[in-house]
Structure 1
Amino acid sequence: MENQAVITEVENGVAVITLNEPKSLNSLSVEIVEGLTKSLQSIKHDPTVRAVILTGNGKAFCAGGNIKSFSSITSAASGRKYMHETGGFIKDLVQMEKPVIAAVNGYAVGAGFSIAIACDFVIASPHSKFALGFHKVGLVPDLGGLYHLPRMVGMARAKELAFSDRTLSATEAKEYGICLEVVEEEQLLIRAMAMASSFASSPTIAIGLAKGILNRSFESSLEDVLREEGMVQGISFTTEDHKEGVRAFIEKTKPTFTGSYS
């Protein structure tokens, strides 16, 4: 599960995915896209992985698309093909039934910003910077940025960030609701690992089912959510984690969840 551009390490139920082309600020090269796609597809089907951390090596989380490669896009058809080939992993990232934490260690710009906010949580170091910046090269925000951003910050702020060259500091990103926490750089992965480990020891089937409903909640009616809650609760009742939780509650002990069905 490892190549030169993307390194994936799994330990104690947590997968740490590191974008590893620091010289290019982890911009979306073919190698990074292929490595990230392969890693996410493998992880989502791996029952031993119960939480995920996505981060970058060097000064950036991800500096966005590889602008030098854009000159090869000469038609609307080739542009759509490029987007299809580049952004397919976003669905795997969003729909993965496991908590995903973006540990943003520097620049999260353009598509890198979109990738960060596609994760369930964003934790950043104080020196991190967040910007869409697509207008600088005459493009539209992509990789789900126009979907996730207004849900995080509201429509007016989303439009401000999409229409301007506004760059947010880590502190501003936290004030906007983009970052859950800002921690010192040397504590970033430590904090992300602590959070991921907590999730990994939780009833991850129930978490994954809840995540799916929450991801769809803004487009759902109350009736839709109530119906889905009933369906996934029925599934949750069949898990070993439910039985373990009930046992521990009755016996007043700490539960040991395994993320498995009966």
Structure 2
Amino acid sequence: MPPSVMFETRGTIAYVTLNRPERRNGLTPEMLREVYETLLRADDDKNLSVLVVQGAGQDFCVGADLNNMTARLAAGKAGQPDVLWFNVSLLLHQMRPVTIAAINGGCAGAGLGWALACDLRIASTTSRFNSAFLDAGAPGDMAAIWFAGRLLGGAAARALFFNPEKFDAETALRTGLVQSVYSLEDFTPELDALVQRLANRPAAVLAAMKANFLDAERLPLKDYIVVETDRHLALMRARASGPTVQTPVDHASTGSVK
């Protein structure tokens, strides 16, 4: 059987592909573990500057595979996922590379949480979104509510989760859930162009900018300005010294999920 999660690197770019297209990339416990472990490896690779999460076939990810879960329960083989595996969203949000969710087709439940956790989200016109948790009798996971509240605002996030219903890519664009929407024909070329534009930027600058965003979420302004200025001046000094100088980004302030 083909792997349910595929990982590929092309220079400084990594691609994580959810690969159960026959089940609309619905998640199993094994798949959840594989994504978590794959992202841990990617975060350890200091050569990477951009990471794309995408789905094989015609969907991004429709959340947990409830049929798989039901079959496991009936067979007495359900088991409990390791709580660490639910840190996929935390990794996508905090890891060094800029993360991009390439959303095509269905994006719901845990898949929506993962998309919201990424730094950038682009969608095709075939994309369909749904929080879906309440319909499945679940309160939510993968920090979907945490991200939705910050991206959309509290009222819009509550409407999205307390009144689960499908909405299209144009609605997602209008509400700010995604940054761009492309036709199915243009989706892959536009994704490639975005990824390449980012990959052509200095990796240290991308990492420092992402660290700034993470610190901005947790620090008061007077403290944030200190760490932002330190990073800025360090990189400007490195730039003045020549292209061979490498300036590491201090990730201690952003925390760790390892």
Q: TM-score range by the shorter chain?
A: 0.7 to 0.9
Which has the higher mean CA deviation after the structures are superposed, 89-98 or 99-108? 89-98
Listed as ranges, the gaps of 5+ residues in structure 2 are 249-258
Q: Structure 1's 83 and 171: CA in aligned 2 closer, same or farther, altered over 3 A? A: farther
User: Runs of 4+ in structure 1 displaced over 6 angstroms?
Assistant: none
Matches within 5 A, 1:161-240: 161-237=160-236, 239=238
Q: Which amino acid aligns with 2:119?
A: D
Partner of 2:247: 261
Q: Structure 1's 107 and 154: CA in aligned 2 closer, same or farther, altered over 3 A? A: same
Partner of 2:255: none
Asked if structure 1 preserves the Cα contact closer than 8 Å seen for 2:103 and 2:121, the reply is yes
Asked if structure 1 preserves the Cα contact closer than 8 Å seen for 2:61 and 2:106, the reply is yes
Q: Structure 1's 11 and 258: CA in aligned 2 closer, same or farther, altered over 3 A? A: farther
Asked if structure 1 preserves the Cα contact closer than 8 Å seen for 2:89 and 2:114, the reply is yes
**Identity percentage of aligned residues:** 25
Which has the higher mean CA deviation after the structures are superposed, 62-71 or 148-157? 62-71
Matches within 5 A, 1:33-182: 33-68=32-67, 70=69, 82=81, 84-182=83-181
Asked if structure 1 preserves the Cα contact closer than 8 Å seen for 2:106 and 2:128, the reply is yes
Q: Which amino acid aligns with 1:82?
A: P
Q: Structure 1's 51 and 258: CA in aligned 2 closer, same or farther, altered over 3 A? A: farther
CA distance in 2, matches of 1:101, 1:115: 10
Asked if structure 1 preserves the Cα contact closer than 8 Å seen for 2:124 and 2:181, the reply is yes
> Helix, strand or coil: the match of 1:143?
coil
TM-score (norm 2): 0.84
CA distance in 1, matches of 2:195, 2:209: 17
> Helix, strand or coil: the match of 1:7?
strand
CA distance in 2, matches of 1:69, 1:217: 40
Asked if structure 2 preserves the Cα contact closer than 8 Å seen for 1:99 and 1:196, the reply is no
Q: Deviations over 1:12-36 (max 9, x none)?
A: 3211211111011111113322322
Q: Structure 1's 238 and 143: CA in aligned 2 closer, same or farther, altered over 3 A? A: farther
Q: Which amino acid aligns with 2:96?
A: E
Partner of 2:254: none
CA distance in 1, matches of 2:90, 2:244: 26
Q: Which amino acid aligns with 1:36?
A: V
CA distance in 2, matches of 1:21, 1:243: 48
Asked if structure 1 preserves the Cα contact closer than 8 Å seen for 2:54 and 2:103, the reply is yes
TM-score (norm 1): 0.83
Q: Deviations over 1:115-137 (max 9, x none)?
A: 11111111101010111111112
CA distance in 2, matches of 1:229, 1:151: 21
Asked if structure 2 preserves the Cα contact closer than 8 Å seen for 1:96 and 1:208, the reply is no
Q: Structure 1's 155 and 236: CA in aligned 2 closer, same or farther, altered over 3 A? A: same
CA distance in 2, matches of 1:156, 1:138: 21
Asked if structure 1 preserves the Cα contact closer than 8 Å seen for 2:128 and 2:168, the reply is yes
Q: Which amino acid aligns with 2:175?
A: Y
Listed as ranges, the gaps of 5+ residues in structure 1 are 248-256
> Helix, strand or coil: the match of 1:47?
coil
Partner of 1:28: 27
> Helix, strand or coil: the match of 1:123?
strand
Q: Structure 1's 7 and 243: CA in aligned 2 closer, same or farther, altered over 3 A? A: farther
Asked if structure 1 preserves the Cα contact closer than 8 Å seen for 2:49 and 2:207, the reply is no
Asked if structure 2 preserves the Cα contact closer than 8 Å seen for 1:203 and 1:258, the reply is no
Partner of 1:4: 3
Q: Structure 1's 187 and 31: CA in aligned 2 closer, same or farther, altered over 3 A? A: farther
Deviation of 1:258 after TM superposition, in Å, equals: 7.9
